[in-house]
Chain A
Amino acid sequence: MKMNSIRLSLIVYFVLLLTFAMSAVAWLSFRLTAASLRDRQGDAHDLIVSQCDAQVAIARAEVDHRILRQAQNMARSTRSVPVHAEAWFAVPIICSPGLLSPHFANAIFLAEGLHSKVSPFVQPVLQPRLAVIEDAEDHVPFPDRNIAQEYFQTYNGRGQPMQNSEVLQPGEFTLSERVQSTSELLMEQFDTIGLEDGTRVRRVTLMAPVPRYNPGVVVPWVWDRMPPPWNPFRIPLGPIAKGVPKGPSTTPFPKGPAKGIPPSSFRDRWLAQVRAPFQSPSQVTNMFVQYGADLGLTDAKIGAYETERDEKLANLNTAIENELGVLRSRMIGVGLVALVSLVLGALGIVWVGLSPLTRMSEAVRHVSPRNFALDLDPKTLPGELQPIAERIAEMLKHLQMAFEREKQASADISHELRTPVAALMTTLEVGLRKSRSGEEYREILEECKICGQHMYKLVERLLALARLDAGVDPYRPRATDVCDLALECADIIRPLAKARGLKLKLDLPEPVLTMTDPEKLQEVLINLLHNAVEYNNDQGSIELAMTHDANQMHITVRDTGIGIKPEAMEHIFERFYRADASRHADMPHAGLGLSIVKSYVELMKGLIRVESSDAGTAFHITLPIVEPSPPRESGIMEMARVG
C-alpha cells in the first residue's frame, strides 16, 4: 500500500505495533495461566491418586489387620493337650525300640513340642502334650461369611500341617521353606496367593510359641478335662475374641500391613502368660498359624476406588480443558475489544497529534499572491513545527517583498518610461496648439531632445539588464589602461560634480595595463560616480582612488553623502531596489544602476563590496590583473592556428 498520508501510515503502523504487542502479551499471559492451571491440575491429580492410594491401602490394611487378628486369636487358642492313654497305646505298637528317636516320635504323633532336649526315652514317660487348637473352627470367627471367605491352617514346629479349613484343598496353604528354616520367632508374614479355584487370598503366617504343659505327674484324663479352677494345670486362656474386635481396640488399628502391631506387646504379654507356670523358656515350642481371607470383595472395593479415581481425573481434565477454552475465548474477546478501542484511540491520538499540521496546511492553503500573511501564530504550534512555520513565514515575507519589489519595479519602469513620453507628447502638443516664433519652436525642440535622451538612457539600462539575463552580453577583454579609463570617467562626471558644487579628487597611480572589458568597466565607474554625485551632500567631495599589486587592482569610489541605511545595505545590489522609496532628482533611476554594476563586475571576474556610514559611502572594486599578451604574438598564434 502506498502511504501517501502521514495519518494513514501512522495509524497503520500504530495498529500493527499494538496488534503485535497485544498478541505477544496475550500469548504470554495465556501460556502462564495455562501453565499454572496445568500445575493445579497436576496437584489435583496427585491428590486424587494419593487419596485413592490411601483408600486402597486402608482396604488392604483392613484385610491384613483382620487376618492378623484372626491368626493371633488362633495362636492364642493353642494349648498343650496331654497324651491320653489311648494315645499312649499306640506308641509301643508303632515304635520299635530302635526307632525311638525323638524324630520318629514326632513323626508318629503328629504332635508338636517333643523337642530334642528331652530324651526320647524319657518322653513317653513325661506324657508329653500336643499343642492343638481345640475346636479350631470355632476360633475362626466369621462374623459375616458374605463379606469374605476365610481360611486357616496350622503347622507344627516342624512344618507339618496340623489343622486346616475344610474348604482348603490339600497343598493350598503351604508353609514356605524360609519360614520353616528360621530359628527366629517370626511374628507375622503377609502374602497373597491364588487358590486352585482362582480365588485370590491374602494370607498371614504367624509363628506362635506353644506352652508345654509338664507338671511332672500324669494328670488323669478326666481331671485334665476339667476346666479351671478345678484343674490347676490347665492354663487359663481367657476369652477367645470372636472376630475383629468392635469398638476401641487395645492396640491401635494398623496403618499398614500388620507391621503396625507392636510385635513385642502381644508376644511379651502372651509369653508372660504362657511361661508363668513353667519358669523355663526352654520348655516353649513353636507352631505356625496361617490365616487367609478372600480378596474378592476388597479387590472390588479397590476397583471401585480406582474407578472413582479415574472418573475424578477425567472430570478434572475436562474441567481444566474447559477452563482453558474459556480463558482462550476470553483472551480473544478482550484482545478484540482492546484492539478496537486502541484503533479508535490511535485515530484520536493521530488526529490530535496531526492537528497542528492540519492547521499549518490550512494556513498555508490560504496564502495567495494577494495575501502573503501566514494566518498562524508559530507560538501556538508544537516545538517541532515552529521552525518550519517560522521559515515559511519568513519565506513568504521574502516572497512578498520580492513581489512588491517586482510590482514596484514595473511601476517604476512604467513611470520612468511613461513620464518622458508624456513630457515629449505634452511638449509637442503645446508647441502645436498655436503658431509660434522660431525661437519658441527651437526651445520646444530642445525640450523634446532632453526627453528623448532620458528615454534613451533608461531603455539602454533595461536592455543592458535584459542582455545580462539572456547572457548575450559577452565579456570582451582588451588590453586597457585602467588609469586612463578612470581619468576619462572623471572627465565625464566632473561637470556634473561642479554643477552641484562637489570636489572630485583623483588618486590614480601610474598606468596599469590589463586585459579587461573597457566598456563595461567604464559603465561601472560612471554609474558609481553618478551615484556619488547624486547622493552627496552639498559642498561634499568625491574620491576616485586606485591601487594595485602584482595580481589585483583595487578601485574605490567614495562620497561624503548621507550613507546607506544598514537595513538597505544587503539590498542595494538588487534589481529595482531603491533605498529611498520616493524618487530623487531628475535623472532616470529605476534602481537598476547598482544591479548592472554588480553584474558587470562579476562578469569581469571581480568583486564589489560597499562600506557605508553617515559620513559617506565607499564602493570597493577588486579586479584581477591579467598581463596582456603582445598583439603580434597573438596574431602569429592565430595565424598558426589558421595555418
Chain B
Amino acid sequence: MRVLLVEDHKPLSKALKRGLEEESFAVDLAEDGEEADYKARSANYDVIILDVMLPKIDGLTLLRQWRKDSIQTHVLLLTAKDTTDDKVKGLNIGADDYLTKPFQLEELLARMRALVRRTHQKKDPVLRVFDLEIDTSARTVRRAGQMVHLTPREFALLQFLAFHRGKVVTRTMIWEHLYDEYDENTSNVVDVYIRYLRTKVDKGHEVALILTRWGEGYMLRGEEE
C-alpha cells in the first residue's frame, strides 16, 4: 500500500517512514504544503497522512482543496491540536480519520489498515481466497492452515492481489501501489516478486491461486474460476 506522509518535522517523518516501511507500506514524503499538493495530485496513494500545521500551505486548506477537486484518497489527519472542535473541523472538511500527537505507532498502523480495507470495501481484516487466509492486521498468511512466511514486500503484493481478487492487476498498478518514489523501476522486479510469491503460496498445492494473464498482468483466482 502506498502512503503519502506529509510532515515537516524531520525526525518524526523519518521515524514514521521507517516504521511504516517495516510494515510493508511504500512511503513517499512531503515536507510542506506545496510539495504535498503536487504529490497528491500526481500519484495514486492509498492513504495520505497529513499534518495540519505545515509550511506554505496548511493541512486543512490542502484537504479542502483536494476534496473540492474530487481527490478521494483517504486522508488521516495527524495533528497536535486535540480539542473536539479541531477534530470535528478536520472530519467535516473531509478527513477520514484523525490522530493527535503524540500517538502510539500501533494505533496509527491499525487506523491505516482500516482505511485501506475501507478503500477496498472489506470489513473483515482476514481475506479468504479458497484455502488461503490473509490476516491483514496480524500480517500473517495461511494456506490450508499452514503458516506461510512472507517478507513485507511479498505480503504487500499478496494483499494487493487479494484486495483485487478476480480482477487483473497490471504491473504498473502493482508498481504504483507497492513501491515508493525512490524505488528503482526495473522491468522485471514485479515478476520476480510474483515468482517468490508463487513459490511460497502455490507450491505444493493443487490449485494455483496466482494466475498470469499474458500481456495484461496478474490476478488472484476469483470465485468462478
**A residues at B contact (CB < 8 Å):** 411-412, 414-427, 429-430, 433-434, 444, 447, 450-451, 454, 580-586
Q: How far is the CA of A105 from the CA of B182 in the complex (A)?
A: 191
Q: How far is the CA of A429 from the CA of B103 in the complex (A)?
A: 10
User: Which residue of the partner chain, among A411, A582, A586, contacts B9 with CB atoms under 8 Å?
Assistant: A586
Q: How far is the CA of A585 from the CA of B9 in the complex (A)?
A: 8
Q: Contact check, B19 vs A415: say whether CB atoms are below 8 A apart.
A: no
Centre residue among B12, B22, B55 by max chain A CB count within 10 A: B12
Complex interface: chain B residues within 8 A of A581 (CB): 58
Q: Contact check, B22 vs A421: say whether CB atoms are below 8 A apart.
A: no
Please give the distance in Å from B218's CB to the nearest CB on chain A. 30
Q: Contact check, B19 vs A433: say whether CB atoms are below 8 A apart.
A: yes
Complex interface: chain B residues within 8 A of A423 (CB): 9, 11-12, 15
Complex interface: chain B residues within 8 A of A417 (CB): 80
Complex A-B, nearest 10 residue pairs according to Cβ-Cβ distance, in ascending order:
A423-B12, A415-B80, A422-B102, A422-B101, A430-B19, A427-B15, A418-B80, A423-B11, A426-B15, A418-B101
User: Which residue of the partner chain, among A422, A429, A444, A582, contacts B53 with CB atoms under 8 Å?
Assistant: A582
Please give the distance in Å from B220's CB to the nearest CB on chain A. 29
Once A418-B102, A426-B16, A427-B15 are accepted as A-B contacts, the answer to whether A586 and B33 lie under 8 Å apart by CB is no
Q: How far is the CA of A581 from the CA of B10 in the complex (A)?
A: 20
Please give the distance in Å from B151's CB to the nearest CB on chain A. 13
CB-nearest residue of chain A relative to B81? A411
Complex interface: chain B residues within 8 A of A421 (CB): 101-102
B8 at the interface (CB under 8 A from A): yes
B41 at the interface (CB under 8 A from A): no
Q: How far is the CA of A577 from the CA of B100 in the complex (A)?
A: 24
Once A414-B81, A418-B80 are accepted as A-B contacts, the answer to whether A585 and B55 lie under 8 Å apart by CB is yes
Q: How far is the CA of A611 from the CA of B121 in the complex (A)?
A: 59
Please give the distance in Å from A408's CB to the nearest CB on chain B. 10
Complex interface: chain A residues within 8 A of B173 (CB): none
**Could you list 6 further interchain pairs (A-B, Cβ under 8 angstroms) beyond the known A450-B11, A586-B8?**
A415-B81, A419-B12, A422-B9, A423-B11, A425-B104, A447-B11
Complex interface: chain B residues within 8 A of A586 (CB): 8-10
Complex interface: chain B residues within 8 A of A427 (CB): 11-12, 14-15
Q: How far is the CA of A421 from the CA of B103 in the complex (A)?
A: 9
Q: Contact check, B9 vs A433: say whether CB atoms are below 8 A apart.
A: no
Please give the distance in Å from A272's CB to the nearest CB on chain B. 142
- Over the window 154-173 of chain B, the binary record of Cβ atoms lying under 8 Å from chain A Cβ atoms (1 yes, 0 no) is 00000000000000000000
Please give the distance in Å from A579's CB to the nearest CB on chain B. 13
Q: Contact check, B12 vs A422: say whether CB atoms are below 8 A apart.
A: yes
**B residues at A contact (CB < 8 Å):** 8-12, 14-16, 18-19, 22, 33, 53-58, 79-82, 100-106
Complex interface: chain A residues within 8 A of B81 (CB): 411, 414-415
Q: Contact check, B8 vs A426: say whether CB atoms are below 8 A apart.
A: no
Q: How far is the CA of A417 from the CA of B101 in the complex (A)?
A: 9
Q: How far is the CA of A454 from the CA of B9 in the complex (A)?
A: 10
Q: How far is the CA of A580 from the CA of B54 in the complex (A)?
A: 11
Once A414-B81, A425-B102 are accepted as A-B contacts, the answer to whether A430 and B11 lie under 8 Å apart by CB is no
Q: Contact check, B22 vs A582: say whether CB atoms are below 8 A apart.
A: no
CB-nearest residue of chain B relative to A415? B80
Main secondary structure of the interface of A (DSSP, over half): helix
Q: Contact check, A451 vs B22: say whether CB atoms are below 8 A apart.
A: no
User: Which residue of the partner chain, among B54, B100, B105, contacts A583 with CB atoms under 8 Å?
Assistant: B54
Q: Contact check, B80 vs A414: say whether CB atoms are below 8 A apart.
A: yes
User: Which residue of the partner chain, among B10, B22, B58, B106, contacts A434 with CB atoms under 8 Å?
Assistant: B22
13 residue pairs A–B, Cβ–Cβ below 8 Å: A414-B82, A415-B79, A418-B102, A419-B101, A423-B12, A430-B15, A434-B22, A454-B11, A580-B55, A581-B58, A582-B33, A582-B57, A583-B54
Complex interface: chain A residues within 8 A of B103 (CB): 422, 425-426
Please give the distance in Å from B219's CB to the nearest CB on chain A. 32
Q: Contact check, A582 vs B102: say whether CB atoms are below 8 A apart.
A: no
CB-nearest residue of chain A relative to B82? A414
Complex interface: chain A residues within 8 A of B57 (CB): 582
Q: Contact check, A411 vs B19: say whether CB atoms are below 8 A apart.
A: no
User: Which residue of the partner chain, among B8, B22, B33, contacts A430 with CB atoms under 8 Å?
Assistant: B22
Please give the distance in Å from A190's CB to the nearest CB on chain B. 125
Please give the distance in Å from A565's CB to the nearest CB on chain B. 16
Q: How far is the CA of A266 from the CA of B96 in the complex (A)?
A: 147
Q: Contact check, B22 vs A433: say whether CB atoms are below 8 A apart.
A: yes
Q: Contact check, B105 vs A429: say whether CB atoms are below 8 A apart.
A: yes
Complex interface: chain A residues within 8 A of B9 (CB): 419-420, 422-423, 586
Q: Contact check, A429 vs B8: say whether CB atoms are below 8 A apart.
A: no
Q: How far is the CA of A613 from the CA of B13 in the complex (A)?
A: 35
Q: How far is the CA of A585 from the CA of B18 in the complex (A)?
A: 21
Q: Contact check, A583 vs B55: say whether CB atoms are below 8 A apart.
A: yes
Please give the distance in Å from A429's CB to the nearest CB on chain B. 4
Complex interface: chain B residues within 8 A of A412 (CB): 53
Q: How far is the CA of A430 from the CA of B54 in the complex (A)?
A: 24
Once A582-B57, A583-B54, A583-B55 are accepted as A-B contacts, the answer to whether A451 and B11 lie under 8 Å apart by CB is yes
Q: Contact check, B80 vs A582: say whether CB atoms are below 8 A apart.
A: no
CB-nearest residue of chain B relative to A429? B105
Please give the distance in Å from A642's CB to the nearest CB on chain B. 54
CB-nearest residue of chain A relative to B11? A423
User: Which residue of the partner chain, among A425, A434, A451, A583, contacts B8 with CB atoms under 8 Å?
Assistant: A583
CB-nearest residue of chain A relative to B32? A582
Centre residue among A425, A582, A585 by max chain B CB count within 10 A: A582
Q: How far is the CA of A451 from the CA of B106 in the complex (A)?
A: 21
CB-nearest residue of chain B relative to A428? B15
Complex interface: chain A residues within 8 A of B104 (CB): 425, 429
Q: How far is the CA of A434 from the CA of B33 in the complex (A)?
A: 33
Please give the distance in Å from B111's CB to the nearest CB on chain A. 14
Q: How far is the CA of A418 from the CA of B55 in the complex (A)?
A: 17
Once A418-B102, A421-B102, A447-B14 are accepted as A-B contacts, the answer to whether A426 and B19 lie under 8 Å apart by CB is yes
CB-nearest residue of chain A relative to B103? A422
Please give the distance in Å from B35's CB to the nearest CB on chain A. 13
Complex interface: chain B residues within 8 A of A585 (CB): 55
Once A419-B12, A583-B8 are accepted as A-B contacts, the answer to whether A426 and B54 lie under 8 Å apart by CB is no
Q: How far is the CA of A424 from the CA of B12 in the complex (A)?
A: 7
Complex interface: chain B residues within 8 A of A422 (CB): 9, 12, 80, 101-103
Q: Contact check, B105 vs A430: say whether CB atoms are below 8 A apart.
A: yes
CB-nearest residue of chain B relative to A427? B15
CB-nearest residue of chain B relative to A434? B22
Q: How far is the CA of A454 from the CA of B11 in the complex (A)?
A: 10
Please give the distance in Å from B54's CB to the nearest CB on chain A. 6
